[in-house]
């Protein structure tokens, strides 16, 4: 089994805390050091037994580490890696949990000193809670962690990162960073863009003479649940996965326009076929 | 309390069966006759005590009735009303449960003989089950039934239909049929059009080199649940509420285009404001 002496978790929240918990539980790490800006959260991490110790100075913390997990918001990952890179021990593997990969991997790879390794990853897991308090060791069980090697990725380091996520209980598909970003743009980012636009449109509709949203029933509320997601996190995702999101938004708009034409023309057969294909494809992924 | 001697339910499923059950339970009807094409379902309605008797001939059944509830698919409501109109007793009130109102009310009002009355209604209630077997007397408790009078609507008949839905446990907002159709287009029909388009787009995406849908996780499945809705029912809704749906689809597309521009321009402040407004407005209707 994969084995690390000293793991540093930068950003000790649900994602970082949960990985530390499971690796410690399985005996895959000897020591876990947490890094973050909120000292109360880090102290709580020690109290909960997630961390052995903590530091608010990432450069100091990474000394002698053989594994660094960067679990900060996606926009700050390259900043963090730039900060710690000169202080990494030879052989150290740096990996991340960012939900966008191309910009992160492209920014981080050239920052790594000779003999240290960056491997991008994205555990597709989460709950509506955050902070180390919300972390638990089975968060990744049965989930997928997509790992995104490039032509530059060290094969031994890659193998270790794959193993680490397997220890956590995940299946670990490998994917090119660009391909990864298209997948998440399609199945996660596009639905969010659509839901945010839908709520804003219904809220902004001004030809009704009343508040349309006040008539919303359970169905509307369920459908738009993701439109209540954290605006700052989604701003960052939209900024970092710009091209893939635009690609998927444009592709979606083509289909919306197709449907609009069917509605406009009152095309009964076309409408039924459009709805039926959707139903069949969705039922197949249940 | 409102009182009817003979109620005829045309289309004895979840909607029709549940209204019959509650009116009988509350003592608001003396006799309930069911009409439908499936004799097995009608027999079951009698066995369950929902109906006193049934007929497969609507014209015969409505003789002597003072209340007719048309709970068939929305496209066939005008056809049913045209068929029964010449056989209605003086004073009879015909109401319906269709989810689109303007086309239905406009088609049905002129069909009514002098001294009989049409009042449009739309109980916003339902479950994923159908058929008389699925009906229950508390389906409408705490829900809304929108009743849609026009300038032609008899005020006494309107009052009785409003009372009837209050007996069933609903609140009963009154709304112009066109206004009603815009409300449901916004909070129900538009989300369905969007969800169907989303699944078809992700299914149809051909620049990936793999099956995008196979990567869908729980979030995508939850968001697209309504894209598994009955294609025939939604074909009919798209055909009958065409104008309001087009209006709302175009309004939605404006907002999607606004968001596309923000993403394209990498406008951090604009993106955050767009997402934040959506979150705040949605959180307010929880």
Chain B residues close to A219, C-beta within 8 Å: 187-188, 191, 226
- How far from the centroid of its chain's Cα atoms is residue B11's Cα? 13
SS3 B208: coil
Q: With the C-alpha atoms ordered B137, B141, B144, B148, is the resulting torsion angle positive or negative?
A: positive
> Cα(A213)–Cα(A10) distance, rounded to whole angstroms?
41
Using an 8 Å Cβ cutoff, are B10 and B16 in contact? yes
> A 186-245 residues with CB below 8 A of B?
186-188, 190-191, 193-205, 207-210, 212-217, 219-232, 234-235, 238-239, 242, 245
Chain B residues close to A144, C-beta within 8 Å: 215, 217
Using an 8 Å Cβ cutoff, are B95 and B120 in contact? yes
- The stretch B104-120 carries a mean pLDDT of 98
pLDDT digits (tens, 9 = 90+) for B40-65: 999 999 999 999 999 999 999 999 99
Q: Where are the beta strands (DSSP E) in A19-116?
A: 29-35, 53-55, 67-70, 93-96
pLDDT digits (tens, 9 = 90+) for B253-280: 999 999 999 999 999 999 999 999 999 9
B161/chain A closest Cα distance in angstroms: 21
Domain boundaries, chain B: 4-175, 179-284
- How far from the centroid of its chain's Cα atoms is residue A142's Cα? 16
- For chain A, the helix, strand and coil percentages under 3-state DSSP, each to the nearest 5: 55, 15, 30
Q: Which tokens sit at B51?
A: 């109906």
> Cα(B178)–Cα(B161) distance, rounded to whole angstroms?
19
The second-level CATH assignment, the architecture, of B179-284 is Orthogonal Bundle (1.10)
Strand partners, B8: B33, B68
Dihedral (C-alpha) B259, B261, B265, B271: value to the nearest 10 degrees? -20
pLDDT digits (tens, 9 = 90+) for B152-199: 999 999 999 999 999 999 999 999 999 999 999 999 999 999 999 999
Q: For residue B19, give the nearest of B70, B63, B93 by alpha carbon.
A: B70
Stronger pLDDT, A220 or B248, i.e. the higher one:
B248
pLDDT digits (tens, 9 = 90+) for A95-135: 999 999 999 999 999 999 999 999 999 998 877 678 899 99
> B 107-136 residues with CB below 8 A of A?
124
Q: Shortest CB distance from A227 goes to which of B186, B260, B279?
A: B279
CATH fold label, A4-175: Rossmann fold (3.40.50)
> Cα(A244)–Cα(A179) distance, rounded to whole angstroms?
9
What is the predicted ipTM? 0.87
List Cβ neighbours of A128 (8 Å cut-off, separation of 6 or more): none
Residue A1 has pLDDT above 80, yes or no: yes
Chain A residues close to B286, C-beta within 8 Å: 221
> Cα(A154)–Cα(A47) distance, rounded to whole angstroms?
36
Residue of B nearest to A226 (CA): B223
> Cα(A16)–Cα(A133) distance, rounded to whole angstroms?
11
SS3 B174: strand
Q: Which tokens sit at B152?
A: 């032609």
Residue A146 has pLDDT above 80, yes or no: yes
Phi (first) and psi of residue A101, to 5 degrees: -115, -35
């Amino acid at each position: 089994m994969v084995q690390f002496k000293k793991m540093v978790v930068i950003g000790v929240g649900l994602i970082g805390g949960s990985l530390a918990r499971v690796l410690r539980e399985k005996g895959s790490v000897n020591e876990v050091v947490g890094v973050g800006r909120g000292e109360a959260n880090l102290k709580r991490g020690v109290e909960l037994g997630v961390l052995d110790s903590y530091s608010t100075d990432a450069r100091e913390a990474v000394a002698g580490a053989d594994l660094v997990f960067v679990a900060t918001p996606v926009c700050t990952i390259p900043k963090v890696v730039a900060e710690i890179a000169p202080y990494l021990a030879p052989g150290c593997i740096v990996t991340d949990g960012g939900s966008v990969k191309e910009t992160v991997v492209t920014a981080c790879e050239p920052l790594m000193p000779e003999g240290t390794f960056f491997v991008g990853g994205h555990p597709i897991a989460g709950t509506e809670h955050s902070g180390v308090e919300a972390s638990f060791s089975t968060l990744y069980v049965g989930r997928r962690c997509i790992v995104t090697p490039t032509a530059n990725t060290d094969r031994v380091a890659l193998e270790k990162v794959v193993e680490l996520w397997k220890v956590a209980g995940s299946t670990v598909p490998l994917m090119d960073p660009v391909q990864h970003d298209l997948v998440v743009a399609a199945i996660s980012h596009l639905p969010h863009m659509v839901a945010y636009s839908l709520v804003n449109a219904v809220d902004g509709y001004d030809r009704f003479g009343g508040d349309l949203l006040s008539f919303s029933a359970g169905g509307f509320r369920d459908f738009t649940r993701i439109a209540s997601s954290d605006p700052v996190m989604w701003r960052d995702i939209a900024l970092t996965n710009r091209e893939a999101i635009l690609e998927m938004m444009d592709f979606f708009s083509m289909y919306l326009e197709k449907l609009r034409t069917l509605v406009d023309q009152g095309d009964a057969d076309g409408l039924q076929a459009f709805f039926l294909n959707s139903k069949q494809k969705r039922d197949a992924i249940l």
